[in-house]
Amino acid sequence: MSLPMIPTHEPLVVVLSGTSGAGKDSVIKALQARGLPFHFVVTATSRAQRPNEIDGVDYTFVSKEQFEEMIARGELIEYALVYGEYKGVPRQQVTNAMASGKDVILRVDVQGALTLRKQFPQAVLIFISAEDPSEAAERLENRSTEAREALRLRLQTAALEFRQLKSFDYWVVNRHGQLERTADVIIAIIEAEHHRVSRQKGIP
């Protein structure tokens, strides 16, 4: 009698996306604080560094010229021009992490998430939103990092992004004051995905 197979632990590509003001950066930091064996991809961007941000931790900050050189060399899995600035996912970070067997967690905008799904069909796409639009607006206003016109554009874009919800695998609401609960839900999703039958190899 043959022994039952043990579920394999193939590395996952987990894409966290969603609307502006949903608290995606805070969710990422909450996950990082757990000390789990995930590789968190540091996105490259051409936008200016904010006072509370650390280069190489929050983002890799480069000039527009440097970013365009990265595009020309094929160093990015996906990239986009977002609110007049480039953002992109460095290819080597993803491939190196997956080769080491680590799950890869990426934070990208909705457009980038849909692009990544084409390159990684088995990627796990998680849409993060605030509990309601007014809460998202309040979070953006409290950040005080953008001009009024830029804030208005982000809120308009958020409404359009929400229409792409059906293209994602999971929807997680990041409720006010429940950041750790949000992190718990995302970790539970990752754990469940590792036990999904369709991901297991060799099943007849």
Active site annotation includes 50: yes
User: What is the distance between the alpha carbons of residues 147 and 128, in angstroms, rounded to a whole number?
Assistant: 24
Q: Which of 47, 139, 143, 175 is catalytic?
A: 143
The phi-psi region of residue 17 (left if phi > 0; otherwise alpha if psi is between -120 and 50; otherwise beta) is beta
Query: Does the CA dihedral 56-114-13-17 come out positive or negative?
Result: positive
User: What is the distance between the alpha carbons of residues 129 and 136, in angstroms, rounded to a whole number?
Assistant: 8
Token digits for 154? 């982000």
What DSSP character marks residue 164? T
Q: Which of 34, 50, 152, 196 is catalytic?
A: 50
Token digits for 51? 């006072």
Active site annotation includes 143: yes
Question: Would you please indicate which residues are annotated as catalytic (active-site) residues?
Answer: 50, 143, 154
